[in-house]
């Protein structure tokens, strides 16, 4: 059987598109990548972004537990789900209560005191110097010893003064005899009155010169002007000194004086005879002194009233020049309201405290009075029995539910 072969395939040319009338068709989009395709090159940046996001979330979680710990009580079991629900105390939900420490206000006795700084002064103090120039011939004291008033301390060479004094004594005897003869002649009217007056004037001048020499001789013996304790000295026997040369210091330290200042608003309450408590900064010991003098006017620079008290200092408890703290009691208040210092919050309008009322925080403006390191007096805004937030002040605000501890 004779078969007929199929007709040969003929090539048909592709039709030509007229681009002026119809745009040419675009190429077909590439097939979607299979799972075996190579990943895009920017996939590393995507992992880096996820890593940074995880670090930020972890930091926020750490900050929450570090600075805002949960007030939920520890414990598990079936109540765990209920503890985090609405109204469960300590569960961190809407009804969570912040634990705070409270201070119940009560009336106390308060001493109204003014605290100031002061300095200790010697009752009397002087630097011993000589009034005449010369060489020291003797030292009659020891450094640091106590001396009595009028005790001889040292002497200055006075040989020339002594010689001049003896000469003047001879002149005085001569002028006394001359005045006596002139007075006899005047009584007999042998001389005029003027001649007698000249002789008498010479006698009076000689007496004055003798007194001046005697005073100079006394200055050569330097004595203690008052009783006290001597300081240190750098002079020795044979030293030539002048009136400008300091020899030794002398101070009377029994008693001592305490100078201090009082703020001007308390000036009218300070009286002579008031007792002040003096605290030595070196030993922290307290002593009682009495005010004996007050400046009649305020210091125009510091607006303080300068006062001065005296302390017996029998056993040399206070040293002149020491720095002390002075407390002056102005009166006492029997029903003062005082709260801890940390419970008071400074605000723009003054001061404020948080009070717990019916389990919630209420902010109250207060007026303060006297204050110390631990307590502040409240003169307005609080009443006896109020529960003031003492600890946890920075964790609460007005309207928060709290649990007093």
Measure the CA–CA gap between 377 and 333, rounded to whole angstroms: 11
Closest to 336 in 3D by CA, of 375, 364, 391, 390 = 375
Give the span between the Cα atoms of 84 and 63, in whole angstroms: 20
Please, which pLDDT band fits residue 15 given cuts at 50, 70 and 90? very low
Number of Cβ within a 10 Å radius of residue 298: 16
Query: Measuring CA to CA, how many Å separate 88 from each of 12, 69, 78, 166?
Result: 86, 17, 14, 114
Report pLDDT digits (tens) over 38-54: 444 555 566 777 888 88
Strand bridging mode 240-241 / 134-139 = antiparallel
Alpha helices by DSSP H, 110-192: 159-187
Rounded mean pLDDT, 337-352: 91
Q: Contact 108/338 with Cβ under 8 angstroms?
A: yes
What does the pLDDT read at residue 45?
62
- d(Cα 67, Cα 58) in Å, to the nearest integer? 14
Q: Contact at 8 Å (CB) between 77 and 83?
A: no
Alpha-carbon gap, residue 161 to 158, rounded angstroms:
5
Mean of pLDDT over the chain = 83
Q: What is the mean pLDDT of residues 381-398?
A: 90
Indicate whether 377 pLDDT > 60: yes
Read off the pLDDT of each residue in 122-140 and give the average, rounded to a whole number.
Answer: 96
Residue 262 CA neighbour count, 13 Å, CB half: 27
Walk me through the domains of the chain, giving residue ranges and CATH numbers: 99-110+334-404 (2.40.420.20), 130-156+223-246 (2.40.50.100), 158-219 (1.10.287.470), 252-333 (2.40.30.170)
Residue with tokens 């119809």: 22
Average pLDDT over residues 105-109: 89
Question: Which of 34, 16, 113, 27 is closest to 371 using CA atoms?
Answer: 113
- 310 bridge partner residues: 257, 290
pLDDT per residue as tens digits for the range 303-329: 999 999 999 999 999 999 999 999 998
* N-term to C-term CA, the chain: 117
Helix, strand, coil share of the chain (percent; to 5): 25, 35, 40
62-81: pLDDT as tens digits: 776 666 655 444 444 444 33
Beta strand 152-156 with 134-139 is antiparallel
Cα separation, 111 vs 324, in Å, equals 20
């Amino acid at each position: 059987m004779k078969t007929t072969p199929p007709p040969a395939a003929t090539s048909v040319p592709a039709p030509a598109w007229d681009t002026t009338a119809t745009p040419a068709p675009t190429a077909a989009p590439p097939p979607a990548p299979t799972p075996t395709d190579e990943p895009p090159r920017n996939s590393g940046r995507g992992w880096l972004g996820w890593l940074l996001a995880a670090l930020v979330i972890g930091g926020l979680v750490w900050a929450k537990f570090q600075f805002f710990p949960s007030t939920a009580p520890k414990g598990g079991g079936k109540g765990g789900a209920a503890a985090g629900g609405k109204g469960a105390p300590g569960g961190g939900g809407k009804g969570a209560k912040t634990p705070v420490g409270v201070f119940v206000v009560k009336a106390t006795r308060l001493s109204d005191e003014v605290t100031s700084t002061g300095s200790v002064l010697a009752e009397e103090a002087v630097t011993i110097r000589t009034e005449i120039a010369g060489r020291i011939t003797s030292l009659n004291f020891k450094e640091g010893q106590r001396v009595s008033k009028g005790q001889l301390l040292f002497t200055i060479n006075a040989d020339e003064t002594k010689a001049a004094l003896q000469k003047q004594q001879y002149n005085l005897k001569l002028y006394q005899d001359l005045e006596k003869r002139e007075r006899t002649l005047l009584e007999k009217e042998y001389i005029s009155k003027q001649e007698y007056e000249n002789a008498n004037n010479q006698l009076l001048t000689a007496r004055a010169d003798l007194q001046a020499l005697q005073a100079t001789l006394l200055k050569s013996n330097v004595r203690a002007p008052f009783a006290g304790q001597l300081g240190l000295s750098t002079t020795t026997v044979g030293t030539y000194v002048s009136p400008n040369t300091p020899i030794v210091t002398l101070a009377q330290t029994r008693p001592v004086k305490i100078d201090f200042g009082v703020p001007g608003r308390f000036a009218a309450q300070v009286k002579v005879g008031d007792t002040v408590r003096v605290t030595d900064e070196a030993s922290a010991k307290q002593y009682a002194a009495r005010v004996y003098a007050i400046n009649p006017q305020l210091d125009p620079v510091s607006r303080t009233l300068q006062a001065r008290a005296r302390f017996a200092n029998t056993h040399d408890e206070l040293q002149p020049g020491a720095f002390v703290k002075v407390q002056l009691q102005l009166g006492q208040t029997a029903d003062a309201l005082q709260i801890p210092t940390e419970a008071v919050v400074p605000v723009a309008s003054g001061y404020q405290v948080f009070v717990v009322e019916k389990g919630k925080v209420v902010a109250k403006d207060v007026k303060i009075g006297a204050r110390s390191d631990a307590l502040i007096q409240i003169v307005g805004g609080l009443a006896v029995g109020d529960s003031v937030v003492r600890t946890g002040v920075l964790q609460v605000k007005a309207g928060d539910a709290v649990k007093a501890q």
